[in-house]
Amino acid sequence: MDIFLISDNQVSQSKEIPDTVPVKGFLWIDATHEEVGADPEAWRNAITLATGVQIYDPHMTDTLNPNHPSYFDSTQDYGMVVFRKLVLNGHPRTTENGVPIAADKIAAPPATAAESEASKRRIPAALSKLATQPVTFLIMDHALVTVHERASRTIDAARARLLDLCNKTEKTPHSTRPPTSPEDLLLRLINAMVDQYLDLRQPLTTQLDRWQRALLDPRRPFKDWMALLDARIELRKLENLCEEQHDAMQELRDYFVDIDDGVEISRAKDLLLVRINDVMEHITRVLNHARRLESSIESAVQIHFSAVAHRTNEIMRTLTVITALFMPLTLITGIFGMNFNEMPLLKNNAGFWITMGSMVVIVIGMLVFFQRRRYLESQALERR
């Protein structure tokens, strides 16, 4: 557990939760699910001593729930935000009796038949990175409490920046300004988490372009339908995730507006609203991108089946032309195959050649007729 006391121009770090609410500045209390799950009641009492705020039991349950969606809730004393971020290692965490297990202590369970079948499906590398985990934020007047998984790039990066501010004795003109309030720190952390989703746009686009080329390749039939279905399911999960995040940020924005006195909006409050609007705009961009990719997959599948149907029609047209050419020839051979004693040309020395010449003339005449009716136009264009 890390505790930072952040004031106007100073940042100090401590490993022990203070017993009193800070007079100047605010506290950032950062804990992991393992630390909170080890003794939830003791952790809540420590938060109460440091902030003067009692966390409700339902919110404690939500804090330790690894499957909780993104959402916002508020009380008279604090606001609670649950925001799902991308997992560092691409795999969701595991819990035992509600207490999270460290990643290095997780043993691989025996694979079931369903898991073995799922492992055979090849999900694109970019889409396999969409595993998420919740990060809980408790916003109070003089404190921000965060609870997250042990490995968190965003939290580690924010902690490193604050440690740099702790170690710097002189402030340069271009140095990073510390957060001015718990709300400011909250929005900085969430904005960094949303940027991780923005970084996925290019890999997702590249991977989906490969799917489209494979679907429209006439030389090799497409067979990875289960992998394509898994990719579409992952994109739908990303779309639902972004919608939940956007709704949570909208409720958080309304919460910031409601706690204002309604007489004068300070510059700090105005900057917070600008920052949260920027976060919501980033989430909207990810949401729109996911929808465009899903629409691209559906369009590529439709074009694929249209191309297959077109090739089938071309094959059937070729077979139809061949059948039409041989129908009169079959009729002629059938007539001369009848068992009659007297038939024209049957005993004529030139009868065979006359018959063969007639067949050739009939075939040439039919080919000319088909060409004029443009029945063979596509084949001619392909030969050119």
Mean pLDDT of 257-270: 65
Per the DSSP assignment, residues forming a β-bridge with 102 are: none
Q: Assign 110 a pLDDT band (cuts: 50, 70, 90).
A: very low
Indicate the DSSP class of residue 89. S
pLDDT tens-digit series, residues 60-70: 999 888 888 89
pLDDT of 96: 43
Q: Assign 100 a pLDDT band (cuts: 50, 70, 90).
A: very low
Tell me the CA distances in angstroms from 273 to 255, 279, 315, one per residue in order.
11, 10, 63
pLDDT tens-digit series, residues 305-347: 887 888 888 888 888 888 888 888 888 888 888 877 777 877 7
Mean pLDDT of 228-250: 84
Q: Give 277 or 307, the one with higher predicted confidence.
A: 277
Q: Assign 171 a pLDDT band (cuts: 50, 70, 90).
A: low
Q: Give 355 or 210, the one with higher predicted confidence.
A: 355
* 383 CA to centre of own chain: 44
Residue 26 predicted with pLDDT over 50? yes
pLDDT of 378: 56
Helix axes 201-215, 225-258, angle to 10 degrees: 150
Q: Please state, as a whole number, how many other Cβ atoms lie within 10 Å of the Cβ of residue 119.
A: 9
CA angle 182, 186, 191 (to 5 degrees): 150
pTM of the model: 0.69
Q: Give 268 or 141, the one with higher predicted confidence.
A: 141
Residue 211 predicted with pLDDT over 80? no
Q: Please state, as a whole number, how many other Cβ atoms lie within 10 Å of the Cβ of residue 172.
A: 7
Mean pLDDT of 343-358: 83
Indicate the DSSP class of residue 373. T
**Side chain identity at 53, as an amino acid letter?**
V
Q: Label residues 73-95 b or e (16+ Cβ within 10 Å = b).
A: bbeeebbbbbbbbbbbeeeebee
Q: Which of 285-289, 316-320, 380-384 has the lowest mean pLDDT?
A: 380-384
List domains and CATH numbers for the chain: 2-170+178-307 (3.30.460.20), 315-383 (1.20.58.340)
Under 8 Å between Cβ of 163 and 13: yes
Q: Give 7 or 32, the one with higher predicted confidence.
A: 32
Q: Assign 272 a pLDDT band (cuts: 50, 70, 90).
A: confident
Residue 48 predicted with pLDDT over 50? yes
Mean pLDDT of 179-207: 83
pLDDT tens-digit series, residues 59-97: 999 988 888 889 899 888 889 999 988 775 544 444 444
Separation between Cα atoms, residue 2 and residue 150, nearest integer Å: 12
As a three-state string, the secondary structure of 298-363 is HHHHHHHHHHHHHHHHHHHHHHHHHHHHHHHHHHHHHHHCCCCCCCCCCCCCCHHHHHHHHHHHHH
Mean pLDDT of 282-293: 86
- Name the nearest CA neighbour of 71 among 237, 248, 216: 248
Mean pLDDT of 18-43: 83
pLDDT of 176: 65
Mean pLDDT of 239-256: 87
Mean pLDDT of 8-21: 74
Six token digits for residue 256: 């910031």
Mean pLDDT of 31-47: 89
Q: Give 237 or 262, the one with higher predicted confidence.
A: 237
User: What's the chain's average pLDDT?
Assistant: 77
pLDDT of 138: 92
Q: Assign 21 a pLDDT band (cuts: 50, 70, 90).
A: low
